[in-house]
A and B are shown apart, each in its own frame.
Chain A
Amino acid sequence: MDNRNDSLDPRQDGNPYDATDATERRGVSSSTSQDQAAANAVGAGSTEDLPDDTFASRGAVKQTVGIGRKTESGSVIFPAFDDHHPPEKDLIDDCVHCGFCLPTCPTYVLFGEEMDSPRGRIYLMNKGLNEEPLNDQMVRHFDLCLGCMACVTACPSGVQYDKLIEATRGQVERRYERTAQDKAFREMIFQLFPYPNRLRVAAAPLKLYQRFGVGDKLKKAGLMKVLPKRMRAMEALMPMLTKQQEVPEFSPAVGEKRMTVGFIKGCVQRVFFSEVNAATVRVLNAEGCDVVTPKAQGCCGALSVHAGREEEFQAFARKLIDEFEDSGVDRIIINAAGCGSTLKEYGYLLRDDRAYAEKARNFSAKVRDVSEFLQELGPVAERQPMPVAAAYHDACHLAHSQGIRKQPRQTLKQIPGMEVREIKEAELCCGSAGIYNMVEPEPATELGDRKATNVLNTGARMVVTSNPGCMLQIQASLKRMGTSMPMAHPMEVLDASIRGESVETLLLNR
């Protein structure tokens, strides 16, 4: 017998689903220092204080094969999965190994390796059910998946890869022992991004940092190069901060009221793109909707669930459901693709929770992406001409996860004069993928540059997309390539059109 199978995970003996993991996760920093730690990290103006190897990247190289060897944590768990939501055998069996998913998978496109394709990962999951342990190699290939779900679109057999990878990630996070640095870096991300207040604190030094051009100076001095890769990736992603625009708790319909809708602000969206939220609410009002935006709302848990942090996700989800419990809204509107796909899965993700299963199903049934909702509702507000060519970028979590492709394009095309241009390789992820571009910067950068090149090749004057992560990612890639392009959410374009703004105003400062 393979001796690697002998070293069982010590946690195996007890209840594999006990609280130790969660405790460990939360024990990284005390709550008082969390905000500052996070600020340090994102501010990047202060990251030079960090020892060089604190968050050392695991040395992502061009191909994955070498990576597995470099990053051994030595954790070997057999069997790979326990009984708490392993990747379901029935879902695995839907895969007939035809390979139609390969060319749409970003990591297969980059690496050309079977293990880094959906078919290969499903094959590994199946082996993990009874034959092979969960070890560094296995985890590496699961980690490298961006979760873009392009394979779900491509699959003729209807394999629900989304459910399979989410289940697998939950198992990995609970059972696999990551290296100390990897754990710390992930922990920092999850102490920061789902918490808008912390993100805002973090963003404050960032403002100074940007104002004084610290990043540029560091770059000139070559100092950026000595920062760990992951930190550099994070620094490169940070956008210029603009003035915060608050969304009121209640915002009435303009003219005849057609519906009452709830609005979810998102986390990254409200901190870095608060103007998108403001525009969304104005559009909804203009289209005859009363908009209710619970002030206290927290994170929807999308980042957590996509990273397999099940308990953390569930806590976020329950809280958000509670916040909308008595709001009496007909629909719940979201303008960020990544949040939207998770909100629509609440019913499935909380299926085991007796107290919340039904509430979650009802909640999910009301959730709509804003473009999807507007097309259901039909336009009433008058659109002023906006004669500009815009490249529309499909966010994976909108196109692949929610199957929403036509609606945002339709929304744009309903604006007189608007020309919507298609981007080559539209199905291919831009590399943002939640926290992916921070934890796996190298493949993400490669994908980002590829996307940015395709965007530029459209010759359009601006790029429009429905996800904040994609915006940050494409912006960062364009900047790296020494260029830029105005960027907007479909709601900003529509808002500008309804308000009769000029093209030049729309393009300004974006």
Chain B
Amino acid sequence: MGMASSRLVDRMTEILGPEGVISEREQLRAYECDGLMNYRVIPEIVVLPETAEHVQRIVRYCHDEGIPFVARGSGTGLSGGALPVESGVLIVLSRMRRILEVDIPNQRVVVEPGVINIWVSQAVADEGYYYAPDPASQIVSSIGGNLAENSGGVHCLKYGFTTNHVMGAEVVLPDGTMVNIGGGKAPDAPGYELLGAFVGSEGTLGIATKITLRVVRKPASVKTLLAAFKDTEEAGDAVSGIIGSGIVPAAIEMMDSLCIEAVETAVHPGFPQAGAVLIVELDGPEAEVSSQFDQTIEICEKANASEIRIAQDDEERALFWKGRKAAFAAMGRIANDYYVQDAVVPRTELGATLKRISELGSEYGMRVANVFHAGDGNLHPLVLYDNDVPGEAEKAEDLAGEIVMTCLEHGGSLTGEHGIGRDKMKYMPKMFTTEDMDTMQLLRCAFDPHHICNPGKVFPTPRLCGEKPGPFHMHPVQKAGLAENF
């Protein structure tokens, strides 16, 4: 692993000053992985821009020199989306963390990409507003990262994903051009919906340097209950019952017994000992919430809930959610390592899929904890293992792979919110045909013809514009004059 070339260091230092450049090996190692530790690559150099202009100059230099780059926010992603590229530049946006504008009359907040998700809600809380997408990592994950991954969260069942809450973005394209996509204050913009393509592009189409978010009024009334069931199947019945009755809960989350055990050890939310618990939250106008809440309780009882606990105040509600949101991290209490998947299945297939996952766990002799967004069938099976036991990591990955395949067989999808990143790209051909993927690649190549922008992610095989990680080399087909870059 070489030290960054002195020319690259000099140029970056020229742009950022010495305090914005990291090139010592020991320091670079702290950036070799994001929230997913299974993949590690030491970047050539890490840079910490403080302004959009910094980002633009860095990217332009990379473009001119054919150096690949990867953007990183808080480094909490779970698909290796911010995994550095060898010989590449890692652009860390954690110092671009200013809230630029709070415009309550237009329900907008303009932020830099390094701003942490929850800061947005905090900035408008006094006015009675909040930012709806709330991934479990909301206390640390950055808006830039949320945008790249199109993050969801426990409340996206009713309120939608990040993409539904982004109104516009200033983006530095992979050639260093700075553009504005999406609308401004007006709700819609004519022309192609580039924002839709950009959000969730996992850092492959450019780097957002300024993001306009929509904030919404806090609901007049919120009611939350926690229901315990014998097993995930009964809890699943309750979920189907609630959604089937026409209620759109703000959130329905399920955790299995292993998960309950872990969070109880970690944050003591006082969850009942049960095969599964559901957290159901309803919000909206008082009268509507009240009548639907009674209905929800009835459905849970009908599905044999052994205990139903209603949050008496904000404090108790916060405790329920604390238990839920700490679930991944709390796995550290019951296992050294875990491998999390993020597949989605149609809600109607929940029961069957969970049963199969449990069988697979037994076949592999490994523990699988389940915590998931039950309302939209977004599963988060956590395969527990010990990295220090030779072969366990591989075994865990195999099992996780089989779980994903099971979900696909049940008509599901590879990922609900964590993204494909480096981790799941090999499964893309299982879900999409070559033509499907080529079409997506066309878009990518239109933005990034030299494949320097987060290369080696999302798509498994280099096709079309010859995408592969590392410095740019012309594709043999291009050399032969048989194809050309966009």
B48 near A: Cβ within 8 Å? yes
* Interface residues in A308-357 (C-beta closer than 8 Å to B): none
Q: Is A124 an interface residue (CB 8 A)?
A: yes
Residues of A within 8 A of B37 (CB): 96-97
B66-77 Cβ-contact flags toward A at 8 Å (1 or 0) = 000000001110
- How would residues 80 to 120 of chain A score, 1 for a CB under 8 Å from any chain B CB and 0 otherwise? 00000000000001111111101100001000111100001
Q: Determine the distance from Cα of A156 to Cα of B259 in the docked complex, in whole angstroms.
A: 13
The reply on B30 being an interface residue by CB < 8 A is yes
Selected contact of A99 from candidates B76, B95, B265, B266, CB within 8 Å: B76
Task: Verify B18–A65 contact, CB threshold 8 A.
Answer: yes
CB-based contact B140/A157 at 8 Å: no
Q: How many inter-chain residue pairs (CB < 8 Å) link A and B?
A: 115
Q: Please give me the residue from chain B that is nearest to A64 by CB atom.
A: B19
Contact status A103-B116, CB under 8 Å: yes
Q: Which residues of B contact A406 (CB under 8 A)?
A: none
Q: Is the CB of B24 within 8 A of A137?
A: yes
Q: In the complex, what residue of chain B is closest to A89 when comparing beta carbons?
A: B388
Chain A: minimal CB distance from B383 (Å): 13
B95 to chain A: closest CB distance in Å? Answer: 4
Whole-angstrom distance between the alpha carbons of A135 and B35 in the complex? 26
Q: Taking the nearest CB of chain A, how far is it from the CB of B72, in angstroms?
A: 9
A157 touches B24 (CB 8 A): no
Chain B residues in 8 Å Cβ range of A376: none
Least Cβ–Cβ distance between A76 and chain B, in angstroms: 10
Of A2, A64, A98, A123, which contacts B25 at CB under 8 A? A2
Q: Count contacts on B: residues with CB < 8 A to the other chain.
A: 45
Interface contact A156-B140, CB-CB below 8 Å: no
Q: B91-107: which have CB < 8 Å to A?
A: 92, 94-95, 97
* Chain B residues within an 8 Å CB radius of A93: 336-337, 387-388
Interface centre among B19, B27, B95, B328 (most CB of A within 10 A): B27
Known contacts A65-B18, A68-B24, A127-B26; A100/B267 CB under 8 A? no
Interface size class on chain A is 35 or more
B332–A95 touching, CB < 8 Å: yes
The answer to whether A127 and B94 have CB atoms under 8 Å apart is no
**CB-CB nearest in chain B for A97:** B37
A66 at the interface (CB under 8 A from B): yes
A132 with B20: CB separation less than 8 A: no
A contact residues around B116 at 8 Å (CB): 103
Q: Using Cβ atoms and an 8 Å threshold, which residues of chain B touch A481?
A: none
Partner of B267, one of A108, A120, A156: A156
Contact between B137 and A156, CB atoms less than 8 A apart: no
B330, closest chain A residue (CB): A156
Residue of B at shortest CB range from A134?
B26
Q: How far is the CB of A92 from chain B (nearest CB, A)?
A: 10
Contact pick for A112, options B27, B76, B95, B331, CB 8 Å: B95
Q: Does A69 sit at the interface, judged by CB under 8 A?
A: yes
Q: B75: which A residues are within 8 A, CB to CB?
A: 99, 114
Contact (Cβ within 8 A) A112 B94: yes
Closest to A114 in B: B30
Shortest CB distance B118–A (Å): 8
With an 8 A cutoff between CB atoms, is A61 at the interface?
yes
Q: Within the assembled complex, what's the spacing in Å between the Cα atoms of A159 and B24?
A: 27
Point out the residues of chain B lying under 8 angstroms from A133, CB to CB. Answer: 26
Q: Residue of A at shortest CB range from B122? A: A424
B31 within 8 Å of A (CB atoms): yes
Of all chain B residues, the one with the shortest Cβ separation from A159 is B332
Beta-carbon contact of B97 and A99 below 8 Å:
no
List A contacts of B35 (CB < 8 A): 97-99
Of A98, A108, A138, the contact of B76 (CB 8 Å cutoff): A98
13 A-B pairs whose Cβ atoms sit less than 8 Å apart in the complex: A65-B27, A94-B332, A94-B333, A98-B137, A103-B116, A114-B92, A132-B25, A133-B26, A137-B26, A141-B27, A156-B267, A157-B333, A158-B333
User: Which residue numbers of B lie inside 8 Å of A, CB to CB?
Assistant: 17-22, 24-27, 29-31, 33, 35, 37, 48, 74-76, 92, 94-95, 97, 114, 116, 137, 139-141, 265-267, 326, 328-333, 336-338, 387-388
Closest 6 CB pairs of A and B: A157-B332, A156-B329, A63-B19, A112-B94, A156-B326, A120-B30
